[in-house]
Structure 1
Amino acid sequence: MTASLDTPAPTFPLREKVRPAFESGDPALRIVDLFSGCGGLTLGAAQAASAAGLALDVRLALDFEQSAVDVYKANFPQANAVVASVEDYFDGELDDELTEAELKTRKSVGTTHLLFGGPPCQGHSDLNNRTRRDDPKNKLYLKVARAARVLDPSIILIENVPTVRLDTAGVVQTTFDLLKKLDYKVATVTVGIHSLGVAQKRRRHVLLASKIKGLDPELVLKDLSSRTEDSTFDLEWAIGDLVGLVNPTGYDTPPKASPANIERMEYMQESGDKDLPNDLRPKCHQDGNHSYKSMYGRLSWNDPAQTITSGFGSIGQGRYMHPSALRALTAHEAARIQGFPDYFSFSSAAKRADLATMIGNAVPPALMREVGAAAIDSLALKPEPIGQLTFEPSRTGGELALAG
């Protein structure tokens, strides 16, 4: 290990157990989170809002997985979080007039400062060999653009895997063009999450759009993408304190491994190797039959992890062997590596498979936290005058202002 385990985290300590009062502050940052999962993007927005002295007001959060919404509600109890498909609330085609359902959504949600979403990315992933680049779910990316037409938010963020740019239907370009027609400034970039303060080598494609006069998406994304990686954010920093827990329970429970994988981990621990030799791999992963070298690999305390997926509990799914223990990662460790502090509770997830899926599919909160910091500053929200309870949109010069 590279440093004392007592060394504090540089920013947003992962070991913090007391949840900030995200709903406290004046005024409120009003957000809509589509494909919300367990709430990674919302947590990032909450952290940014809290740092600016603003309250978080989740006007709408949508996901079709009950277990993910249960976790979301447990962590954001005042949020309007709903188990539903995004299409239930935004059911029109891109250029159509607003539907009855969409008019109802617009009325119930009201003014939206930030609209964001992480549409399903499996169809764009290089790990998906069956429907890569040509998956009907890929078009869900366009639903965020449709939601923008319905809600007219001040700022929009859409995140996905870098290969979303190669989608056969051209969803990124179509969304880019539509938002330009709606008078947004739009920019895209691929960002390394490690440089934002996450102990993980993960890259995400980001589309950022703004109607705020003082917010230039291109400059914001240029800043994000130009940040250098910080070696401080390694696995020791993220999970070093979780080694050797006595009688671990819940999401600290170690995953079980097959006898064959135990032998493979014993070899790597004794030899010090990070990669499993070819002759010790399953036959389907030998002799160039598999292109992913990290399969059955061991992590290092001095480095960030590879991209966390829902398979983090098995060394056969990637480089997920613990740096010093004979096991793969626990759910708690994977959540930390994704950037979820300990005050974020996953206890409502009853099934291990559901827990693995929502952690693996989550967007690291740091992405929205860093973008949110720039967005909130540009919004220049002001406390409401006494007796005025709600914000009303004023689009003079493209800036959001209080109705007087």
Structure 2
Amino acid sequence: MSNIKKKYFSADLFSGVGGLTAGMHDAGFQTKFAVELEVDAVKGYKLNFPETKVLQKDIRSVKIDEMKSLLDSKPLHLLAGCPPCQGFSSIRKLNRKASVRDKRNSLVEEYFKMVKELKPLTIMMENVPGLKDYYLFKDIVKRLDALGYDPKVDVINVKDYGVPQNRKRLIMVGSLLGNLEIAPASGKKRTVRSEIEHLPTPDEADDPLQKIVANHTEKVMERIRLTPKDGGSRKDLPDEYLLDCHNKKNIGFNDVYGRLRWDDYSTTITGGCLNPSKGRFLHPEQNRVITPREAALLQSFPEDYKFPTDISKSSLALLIGNALPPRFSYIQSKNIKEHLDQHFG
């Protein structure tokens, strides 16, 4: 994406399969270490970033001295992370008591602890929009301000940053070096067509990730075939093809068994992106759900990005759906890199 001469050092907490790291690397950062608990995510991360040391453990058990030793006396220019806070996702909030009790919500506190101990020059955190109103997060923002980071927090949509996907996210950045703003929207619209139309069909593909397609019963296949091309939904089907659960007034069911639209953004790519019963994940034209490669491209991963293929399809979908879109990470990381250049360039 750009020719970078100077290297800055970063770390990626809760790294997943590496969407955030991919963007940081494109912007010129060298990730010294990553922390990730899930086995499949670590496997995928290592396929793409073999030079980065991955601490495969619960972040609550990671010793600060261990991370400092991996920095090898080098400064930490950027500490980035996406603490899992699914308890504040829009679907989970339908059951508010359960969402507030979700133990993953406390992991944002772990991110703050790492900032406090490692003292990075800049910080970046991404998360679900609902976290913005969580009392613990508000308190952490105040504590980061007291440490001198002057944090900026906003809820943005990645579709405004060149990602072909309607996906709202919370972003926070901060710096010890002076004012650091969240990168403005790039203004370039990318669509489903621009990202996946060129791909061969699963039958013709050589890419293992493009060959993976869900198998369905004949009844489900008939429902898919009857769904109008280029944006059709279950609402277009005859009544006898509607499922009982689809008649519930629940926002989580509105888009199931729907087709993507060629000349629009995709809906949010979630951990259920390879299952048409989980959302609008049908191919715009072909009678099938999208493939893992198509889902990854809609997340803005490069076409040669590696994912493990010896794991279950549901696990693969989670790796892709839970990732931070690399193109969004790149724009934010490039903005931070330019901020650092003002002081070290």
Compute the TM-score of the two structures, normalised by the length of structure 2: 0.90
Superposition pairs of residues 86-125 of structure 1, within 5 angstroms: 86-89=59-62, 101-109=63-71, 110=73, 111-125=75-89
1:53 aligned partner: none
2:227 aligned partner: 268
Aligned mates of 2:116, 2:140 — CA distance in 1: 11
1:27 aligned partner: 6
2:213 aligned partner: 254
Pair 1:235-2:192 in alignment:
yes
Aligned mates of 2:49, 2:271 — CA distance in 1: 23
> Which residue identity does 1:337 align to in structure 2?
L
2:35 aligned partner: 62
**Correspondent of 1:284 among 245, 255, 266:** 245
Contact map agreement 2:164 2:266 (CA 8 A) in 1: yes
* Corresponding residue SS for 1:30: strand
Greater Cα radius of gyration, structure 1 or 2? 1
Contact map agreement 2:272 2:279 (CA 8 A) in 1: yes
Aligned mates of 2:78, 2:65 — CA distance in 1: 19
1:338 aligned partner: 299
1:326–1:27 Cα change, 3 Å: same
**Following TM superposition, by how much is the alpha carbon of 1:166 offset from its aligned partner in structure 2, in angstroms?**
3.3
1:92 aligned partner: none
Structure 1 residues 135-170: Cα deviation after superposition (integer angstroms, max 9, x where no partner):
121010111111101110011111111111233xx2
**Following TM superposition, by how much is the alpha carbon of 1:327 offset from its aligned partner in structure 2, in angstroms?**
0.8
1:140–1:270 Cα change, 3 Å: closer
1:347–1:200 Cα change, 3 Å: same
**Following TM superposition, by how much is the alpha carbon of 1:304 offset from its aligned partner in structure 2, in angstroms?**
1.0
Contact map agreement 2:91 2:252 (CA 8 A) in 1: no
Aligned mates of 1:273, 1:354 — CA distance in 2: 27
Contact map agreement 2:229 2:259 (CA 8 A) in 1: no
Contact map agreement 1:30 1:113 (CA 8 A) in 2: yes
Contact map agreement 1:70 1:349 (CA 8 A) in 2: no
Pair 1:244-2:205 in alignment:
no
**Following TM superposition, by how much is the alpha carbon of 1:275 offset from its aligned partner in structure 2, in angstroms?**
4.2
Aligned mates of 1:120, 1:164 — CA distance in 2: 11
**Correspondent of 2:126 among 159, 165, 169:** 159
Percent of aligned pairs sharing the same letter: 27
Structure with the higher helix share, 1 or 2 = 2
* Corresponding residue SS for 2:99: coil
1:379–1:244 Cα change, 3 Å: same
Structure 1 residues 267-295: Cα deviation after superposition (integer angstroms, max 9, x where no partner):
11379733434733210111536653112
Contact map agreement 1:31 1:114 (CA 8 A) in 2: yes
Structure 1 residues 36-82: Cα deviation after superposition (integer angstroms, max 9, x where no partner):
00100000001111xxxxxx422210110111111111111110112
Aligned mates of 2:229, 2:313 — CA distance in 1: 30
